[in-house]
């Protein structure tokens, strides 16, 4: 059963509050009564209501203030205002400030019930929508991309905007950050999703073969071309072509690719005939293409054609808060794959994973868990199960960052004391409750350069 919606009713006429509450309670709502602006505002803060019904004219204040407070403290809550004849204009004003409906006095209970039911319905829709989106994003909607950190939510948001268009997408990011997952997500969330998704990894083929893979060839076009073959562009017609490791293609192939993108036509090697293709391109690379353009290794015109929109996948160490979610999801998969029943991971073990720098990003994390799962014969993962190199590296980074944080705090305290003491060190030391010698020592270890700067110059 779903929880009843919470309604706060605010009116200084007690009878109105009581009658309203009774009618709504009978309709299944949970009601909280308040007879002044002050108690109403307090109740809003404490109870996080779904709906607020407030009179606009209250003895101790203005219903508009209640409205503003409600919208601020509980942004999802809806407000219905009650208004007398004289204040219809302020009701309009209230709607402009975010009230959803207004009810006129004297209250008609049928109208009240209808208006509240409509408000509740609207809220339920909004809530289901948010929950659904979050669930879809987290689990499957964006095709296996797991994460709930601001960095990954930003990617989801970008994908929602970019996917439905036909724009060419450039996906960048370090190795193992999920560039290929993103390419699939773009395709699967586009209107081409029923069309083919064709991948070509540009590193695995020598130059001549790469061109023939891309554009196809006619029989006899070169030695070994024993039959006519279609290229990946033709296979991807009506769908998406994903060119992985685009940074690796040669200048000659770059020039040909540029022409295809501009003309939307391909020519098979050894043919004079052009063939129209309807293909959306997604390219990915872990290299810095911009830098390669600067060094003359990548054509700038192709670069700009490819990065009509770009998505940059953050390294895992920049969204380490997603590690628990990733671990959870990977453990579920791996349990199934290896027929294991690992149900939990001890918090020290998880912390070690969270603190590690994961230069190989999500791929490295997944591989690490895979070997842990394979080796494990219990139902939980403890610190001892984490590979030693990860444990020690994590312990070291934690210690280093703790030390750094402490040092920064000391530095701030000392700077503040010196400022208050107008640079007088004896006074600053007194303010800090430490000896002058300690202050000197701290200044030296925390920031030697600065101590040098602030020392009074010796007169010649």
Ligand X SMILES: Nc1ncnc2c1ncn2[C@@H]1O[C@H](COP(=O)(O)OP(=O)(O)OP(=O)(O)O)[C@@H](O)[C@H]1O
Contact positions vs Mg ion (CB under 5 A): 180
> Under DSSP, is residue 82 helix (H, G, I), strand (E, B) or coil?
strand
Question: What minimum distance in Å lies between the beta carbon of 201 and Mg ion?
Answer: 8
The CA distance from 129 to 134, in Å, is 9
Note every long-range contact of 25-32, with CB atoms under 8 Å and residues 24 or more positions apart, other chains counting: 27/113, 27/116, 27/117, 28/4, 29/4, 29/5, 29/116, 29/120, 30/4, 30/5, 30/6, 31/6, 31/7, 32/6, 32/7, 32/8
Question: What minimum distance in Å lies between the beta carbon of 118 and ligand X?
Answer: 40
Find all residues with CB under 8 Å of 374, minimum gap 6, and list them: 338
Question: What minimum distance in Å lies between the beta carbon of 238 and ligand X?
Answer: 24
The CA distance from 11 to 289, in Å, is 65
The CA distance from 8 to 243, in Å, is 57
Partner whose binding site includes residue 63, from ligand X, Mg ion, none (CB under 5 to 8 Å by kind):
none
Q: Pick the closer one to Mg ion by CB: 180 or 410.
A: 180
Find all residues with CB under 8 Å of 121, minimum gap 6, and list them: none
Partner whose binding site includes residue 10, from ligand X, Mg ion, none (CB under 5 to 8 Å by kind):
none
Question: What minimum distance in Å lies between the beta carbon of 44 and Mg ion?
Answer: 50
Q: Pick the closer one to Mg ion by CB: 29 or 197.
A: 197
Partner whose binding site includes residue 398, from Mg ion, ligand X, none (CB under 5 to 8 Å by kind):
none
Partner whose binding site includes residue 362, from ligand X, Mg ion, none (CB under 5 to 8 Å by kind):
ligand X
The CA distance from 148 to 156, in Å, is 10
Q: Pick the closer one to ligand X by CB: 367 or 454.
A: 367
Phi-psi region of 216 (alpha: psi -120 to 50; beta: other; left: phi over 0): left
Question: What minimum distance in Å lies between the beta carbon of 243 and Mg ion?
Answer: 11
Question: What minimum distance in Å lies between the beta carbon of 140 and ligand X?
Answer: 11
Partner whose binding site includes residue 108, from ligand X, Mg ion, none (CB under 5 to 8 Å by kind):
none
Find all residues with CB under 8 Å of 395, minimum gap 6, and list them: 352, 355
Partner whose binding site includes residue 175, from Mg ion, ligand X, none (CB under 5 to 8 Å by kind):
ligand X
Question: What minimum distance in Å lies between the beta carbon of 180 and ligand X?
Answer: 3
Q: Pick the closer one to ligand X by CB: 179 or 192.
A: 179
Question: What minimum distance in Å lies between the beta carbon of 144 and ligand X?
Answer: 6
> Under DSSP, is residue 359 helix (H, G, I), strand (E, B) or coil?
coil
Partner whose binding site includes residue 360, from ligand X, Mg ion, none (CB under 5 to 8 Å by kind):
none
Nearest one of 123, 218, 144 to 186, comparing CA atoms = 144
Question: What minimum distance in Å lies between the beta carbon of 180 and Mg ion?
Answer: 4
Nearest one of 81, 92, 20 to 56, comparing CA atoms = 81
Partner whose binding site includes residue 144, from ligand X, Mg ion, none (CB under 5 to 8 Å by kind):
ligand X
Partner whose binding site includes residue 231, from Mg ion, ligand X, none (CB under 5 to 8 Å by kind):
none
Q: Pick the closer one to ligand X by CB: 102 or 330.
A: 330
Q: Pick the closer one to ligand X by CB: 254 or 286.
A: 286
Partner whose binding site includes residue 311, from Mg ion, ligand X, none (CB under 5 to 8 Å by kind):
none
Query: Which residue number is nearest to ligand X in terms of Cβ?
Result: 178
For 209, phi then psi, to 5°, come to -70, -35
The CA distance from 32 to 2, in Å, is 19
Q: Is 125 exposed, middle or buried (0-12, 13-18, 19+ CB in 10 A)?
A: exposed
Site residues (CB under 6 A) for ligand X? 144-147, 173, 175-181, 286, 326, 362-363, 366
Q: Pick the closer one to ligand X by CB: 153 or 229.
A: 153
The CA distance from 260 to 276, in Å, is 10
Q: Pick the closer one to ligand X by CB: 332 or 444.
A: 332
- Residue 425 CA, distance from chain mean position: 47
Question: What minimum distance in Å lies between the beta carbon of 201 and ligand X?
Answer: 8
For 217, phi then psi, to 5°, come to -150, 160
Q: Pick the closer one to ligand X by CB: 33 or 180.
A: 180
Asked if 241 contacts 279 with a C-beta cutoff of 8 angstroms, the reply is yes
Q: Pick the closer one to ligand X by CB: 171 or 266.
A: 171
């Amino acid at each position: 059963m779903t929880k009843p919606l919470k309604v706060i009713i605010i009116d200084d006429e007690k009878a109105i509050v009581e009658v309203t509450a009774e009618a709504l309670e009978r309709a299944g709502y949970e009601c909280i009564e308040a007879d002044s602006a002050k108690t109403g505002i307090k109740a809003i803060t404490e109870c996080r209501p779904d709906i607020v019904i407030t009179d606009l004219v209250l003895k101790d204040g203005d219903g508009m203030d209640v409205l503003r407070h409600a919208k601020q403290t509980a942004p999802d809550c809806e407000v219905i205002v009650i208004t007398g004849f004289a204040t219809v204009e302020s009701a309009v004003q209230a709607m402009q400030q975010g009230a959803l409906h207004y009810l006129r006095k004297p209250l008609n209970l049928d109208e009240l019930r209808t208006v509240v039911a409509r408000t509740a319905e609207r809220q339920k829709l909004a809530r289901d929508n948010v929950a659904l989106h979050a669930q879809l994003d987290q689990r499957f909607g964006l095709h296996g991309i797991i994460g709930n950190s601001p960095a990954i939510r930003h990617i989801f948001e970008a994908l929602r905007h970019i996917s439905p268009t036909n724009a060419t997408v450039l996906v960048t990011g370090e190795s193992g950050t999920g560039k290929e997952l993103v390419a699939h997500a773009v395709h699967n969330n586009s209107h081409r999703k029923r069309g083919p998704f064709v991948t070509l990894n540009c590193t695995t083929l020598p130059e001549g073969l790469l061109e023939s893979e891309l554009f196809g060839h006619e029989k006899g076009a070169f030695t070994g071309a024993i039959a006519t073959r279609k290229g990946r562009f033709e296979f991807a017609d009506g769908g998406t072509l994903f060119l992985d490791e685009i940074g690796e293609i040669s200048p000659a192939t770059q020039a040909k690719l540029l022409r295809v993108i501009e003309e939307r036509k391909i020519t098979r090697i050894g043919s004079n005939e052009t063939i129209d293709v309807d293909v959306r391109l997604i390219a990915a690379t872990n290299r810095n293409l911009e830098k390669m353009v600067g060094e003359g290794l990548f054509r700038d015109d192709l670069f700009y054609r490819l990065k009509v929109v770009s998505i940059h996948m953050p390294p895992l160490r920049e969204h380490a808060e997603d590690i628990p979610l990733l671990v959870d999801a990977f453990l579920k998969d791996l349990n199934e794959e290896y027929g294991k029943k690992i149900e939990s991971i001890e918090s020290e073990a998880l912390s070690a994973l969270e603190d590690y720098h994961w230069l190989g990003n999500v791929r490295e994390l997944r591989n690490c868990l895979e070997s842990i799962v394979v080796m494990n014969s219990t139902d939980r993962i403890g610190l001892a199960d984490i590979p030693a190199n990860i444990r020690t590296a994590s312990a070291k980074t934690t210690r280093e960052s703790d030390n750094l944080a402490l040092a920064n705090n000391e530095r701030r305290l000392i700077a503040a004391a010196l400022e208050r003491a107008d640079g007088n060190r004896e006074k600053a030391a007194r303010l800090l409750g430490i000896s002058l010698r300690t202050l000197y020592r701290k200044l030296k270890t925390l920031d030697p350069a600065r101590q040098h700067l602030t020392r009074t110059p010796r007169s010649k």
